[in-house]
Amino acid sequence: MPSIRAIALSCQKVHPMQPIHLPTLGPRYWTALCVASIFGANMGDFFAHDLGLGHVAGLPFLAVAFALVAVSERSDRTVHQAYYWTAIIIVRTAATNAADFACGDLKLPRVLVAAGLAALLALVLVANWQLVWRRRSDQGSAVDRVLGADTGYWISMLIAGTLGTVLGDYCSHNLHLGDAGATLLLGPILGLLFLVARGGLLRSLWFYWLTVVMVRSAGTAAGDLVASRGLLGLPLGTLVTGLLFVGLLLTWKEPARPRLVDVGT
């Protein structure tokens, strides 16, 4: 098993996104992330089923797409958030397929997969905090510990997305709640997290990632509900949630991203 230092050092190989390309943590960010989670859940299923790529064959295409985003972002000095949100959708799509591969194709128990992913996420977060994010925060960098968008951040986002997908599916299938029941269960839990964190707790490292996992869980159930045959179906559901996501980002403007206030973990 790799050491904490080895994980953290590997996560320093790619520079973080420029601050001019990052969103501000606030209502717009979390609303967009919720919609992105629903859209990404549908995109993952659309990739695997409607495009016929399965849960594994599409991953190299997603990896190439993410690499193109990362390379293009480094040379762009224009102030916008397109790279960040495109990367979010790519990672969310990959997370959906990774979870479905582990629990669907390999038929691994969702409880065990979720436990393993939770432990892995905690390990990666500790590694990055100890050897990357804390040092960057101490140096007063504009890229803060919560929304740094470096390699460690995107690895954490992939793991959190996969974990959230497994938890959402667990509520829908293992608990026999169905997509609607799981959405009604997970939605209020997510809302409670937002309510508890209204004083700024969402800028805490651990609470941020806990909320991301819950966003992914609720988004999985909601995405499957929207894409069900009784509602929009997968192709139309993917199109509608995608348009909703893009429309939200275009119509809900925000000022240039300020530096976040330093807070404890």
**Looking at residues 182-187, what average pLDDT do you find?**
98
Rama region for 259: left / alpha / beta (φ>0; ψ in -120 to 50; rest)? beta
Q: Confidence class of residue 7 from pLDDT cuts 50, 70 and 90?
A: very low
Q: Is residue 40 part of a domain?
A: yes
Name all contacts of 57-66 with Cβ < 8 Å and 24+ positions apart: 58/97, 59/94, 59/97, 59/98, 62/90, 62/93, 62/94, 63/94, 65/90, 66/90, 66/91, 66/154
Neighbours of 253 (CB within 10 A): 7
Indicate the residue type of 256: A
At 29, the pLDDT band (50, 70, 90 cuts) reads: very high
Identify whether 13 is part of a domain. Answer: no
Compute the average pLDDT of residues 212-233.
96
In a domain, 189, yes or no: yes
In a domain, 184, yes or no: yes
Q: Which residues contact 94 (CB under 8 A, 6 or more apart)?
A: 44, 59, 62, 63, 158, 161
Residue 14: pLDDT above 80? Answer: no
Chain mean position to CA 193 = 16
Residue 29 domain flag:
yes
Give pLDDT, residue 67. 96
Q: What is the total count of domains within the chain?
A: 1
- Asked if residue 185 belongs to a domain, the reply is yes
The answer to whether residues 181 and 116 touch, using CB atoms and an 8 Å cutoff, is: no
What's residue 161's pLDDT?
Answer: 98
Provide the pLDDT confidence category of residue 129 given band limits of 50, 70 and 90: confident
Confirm whether 51 is domain-assigned: yes
CB 11 within 8 A of CB 155: yes
Given this model, what pLDDT does residue 3 score? 47
Mean pLDDT of the chain: 88
Domain contains 132: yes
Q: What is the pTM of this model?
A: 0.89
Q: Scanning the structure block, which residue is given the tokens 């893009």?
A: 246
Contact 144, 137 (CB under 8 A): yes
Q: Which domain holds residue 201?
A: 21-249
